[in-house]
């Protein structure tokens, strides 16, 4: 039997949950526009609320710490790869609020054991979600590369410059290709080298084909020649590589499905047993051997998941 919570503890937990949700909403909907005093100096600046000032100060502190550290699951580079526009401090504060809400709800629903599990699993789930966003954005970018290369080559044949052709391809594409090409154009216009900007796109998206395009453009700028024809040859190579990738994905689809079933089976079985016989849940969430078994299961699942991902992702 779960220990009964006092009404005071329940009310305090709800108030803390509401506070965390308020902080999250304040960060999500906080405007990133230029301050009114900078846009219209003759208009007096509107004073922000105490909550907004508190969140701004917290975000600035977190951004300084993350910038000093340089890397991590919520670094600026990682967020750019996922296509997220806000600062790392915003998402770190949001992640803390979500983790806190999950911990309070876990404590109210299942006691301290479920609260500890929620504290551990929520950040892991957020990191996995961020990695899924990165993978989805990279996959969509990979699909857009051949058509974009054809657009650039067509613009060069029509007599446009390379930068103008890239700009036209950005206008004709959708995100994420449009975002990356617009960034290349803007960086080039303020003085950055075009080859460096294209290389950064290849690094952010993890696309080897775009890296080959950047190298081909750099070589052409040194030795000259018909760049449109060079890009056509590169495009044919990219299409052949994509065809091979598709065949590999089809052959490894069965292994991926098996991996998903094996990873989900323990969680589904535990959930089913907890629903049909709550006594099993109490053994795992209210006793020390149960905590140890959950920890061992998480370690084994992590090791097995890593091994399966190495098997079902052949490199070529």
Confidence check: pLDDT of 41 > 50: no
Half-sphere exposure at residue 73, Cβ-oriented, CA atoms within 13 angstroms: 14
Q: What is the pLDDT of residue 49?
A: 55
Mean model confidence pLDDT for the chain: 77
pLDDT, tens digit, 9 for 90 and up, residues 128-159: 888 898 889 988 898 888 888 889 888 888 88
- Report residue 303's pLDDT band, with 50, 70 and 90 as the boundaries: confident
Omega before residue 176 within 30° of 0, cis: yes
Taking residues 271-277, report their average pLDDT: 78
Q: What is the pLDDT of residue 43?
A: 42
CB 231 within 8 A of CB 152: yes
pLDDT, tens digit, 9 for 90 and up, residues 54-110: 555 555 655 555 555 555 666 777 778 877 777 776 777 777 788 888 888 888 877
Which residue segments constitute the domains of the chain, with CATH numbers given? 1-30+46-110 (no CATH), 142-247 (1.20.81.30)
Q: What is the pLDDT of residue 33?
A: 47
Q: What is the pLDDT of residue 255?
A: 79
Helix (H) or strand (E) holding 315: none
Give the 3-state secondary structure of residue 177: helix
* Structure tokens that stand for 267 in this block: 């969680």
- Identify the residue whose tokens are 């535990």: 270
Q: Which of 190, 198, 241 is nearest to 219 (CA)?
A: 198
**Other CB atoms within 10 Å distance of the CB of residue 33:** 7
Distance CA 78, CA 73 (A): 7
Confidence check: pLDDT of 5 > 60: no
Distance CA 61, CA 200 (A): 28
- Identify the residue whose tokens are 């993890």: 206
**Neighbouring residues of 178: CB distance < 8 A, sequence distance ≥ 6:** 170, 171
Q: What is the pLDDT of residue 100?
A: 84
Q: What is the pLDDT of residue 312?
A: 73
- Identify the residue whose tokens are 């910038």: 67
* Structure tokens that stand for 199 in this block: 């290389």
Q: Which of 77, 182, 205 is nearest to 135 (CA)?
A: 205
Q: What is the pLDDT of residue 224?
A: 77
Which pTM was predicted? 0.64
- Give the chain's radius of gyration (CA, Å): 26
Give the 3-state secondary structure of residue 287: coil
């Amino acid at each position: 039997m779960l220990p009964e919570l006092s009404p005071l503890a329940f009310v305090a937990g709800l108030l803390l949950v509401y506070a965390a949700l308020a902080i999250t909403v304040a960060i999500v909907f906080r405007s990133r526009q230029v301050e009114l005093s900078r846009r219209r100096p003759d208009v007096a600046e509107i004073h922000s609320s105490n909550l907004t000032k508190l969140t701004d100060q917290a975000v600035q502190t977190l951004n300084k710490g993350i910038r000093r550290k340089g890397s991590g699951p919520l670094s600026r580079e990682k967020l750019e790869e996922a296509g997220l526009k806000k600062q790392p401090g915003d998402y770190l504060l949001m992640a803390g609020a979500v983790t806190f809400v999950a911990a309070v709800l876990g404590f109210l629903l299942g006691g301290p054991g479920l609260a500890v599990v929620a504290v551990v699993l929520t950040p892991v789930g957020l990191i996995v979600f961020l990695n899924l966003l990165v993978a989805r954005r990279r996959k969509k970018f990979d699909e857009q590369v051949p058509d974009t290369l054809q657009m650039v080559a067509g613009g060069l044949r029509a007599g446009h410059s390379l930068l103008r052709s890239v700009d036209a391809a950005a206008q004709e594409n959708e995100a994420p290709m449009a975002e990356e090409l617009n960034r290349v154009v803007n960086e080039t216009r303020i003085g950055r080298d075009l080859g460096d900007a294209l290389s950064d796109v290849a690094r952010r998206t993890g696309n080897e084909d775009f890296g080959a395009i950047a190298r081909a453009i750099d070589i052409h700028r040194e030795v000259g020649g018909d760049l449109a024809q060079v890009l056509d040859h590169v495009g044919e190579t990219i299409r052949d590589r994509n065809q091979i990738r598709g065949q590999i994905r089809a052959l490894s689809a069965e292994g991926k499905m098996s991996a998903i079933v094996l990873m989900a089976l323990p969680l589904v079985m535990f959930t089913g047993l907890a629903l049909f016989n709550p006594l099993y849940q109490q053994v795992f969430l209210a006793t020390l051997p149960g905590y140890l078994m959950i920890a061992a299961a998480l370690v084994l699942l992590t090791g097995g998941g890593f091994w399966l991902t190495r098997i079902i992702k052949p490199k070529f």
